[in-house]
Amino acid sequence: MSRLEFYSRPLVSFDASLKEHRRIYYQFVKSRSWGHSPFRFICPEDHGDLITMIQRNLIDYYIRKEFGKTVPEAPQPLVRQKKEKTVDKAAKR
C-alpha cells in the first residue's frame, strides 16, 4: 500500500439522511471545493456524476420527509404500436 492510499480520505457512499453528509454537500455548494470534507463520496456508474447523484438523493430525501413517499417514477413516453401487416399474419399461421 502506498503512502497516498494510507493517508487518503476514506470512501463513503452519500446518505441524505445523515446530517453530516448534507452539511458537507452544503459546504461544497458554498465553496465549490471538497477540501473541507473528511471523506470522499463514491458515485455508482449508473448515476452519471457525483453532484447529480447527490442532488437526486437529496430531492428524494426531502420529498419522503414532506410527503412520506418515495419519488414517483417518471411517466414513460407512449410508444406507437406497429400495425400488424397481412404478411405478419400469414407468418404466424
Q: Is the pTM of this model over 0.75?
A: no
**How confident is the model over 28-47, as pLDDT tens digits?**
999 999 888 888 888 877 77
**How confident is the model over 59-92, as pLDDT tens digits?**
999 988 888 765 566 666 666 666 666 665 555 6
The Cα 76–Cα 34 span in angstroms is: 36
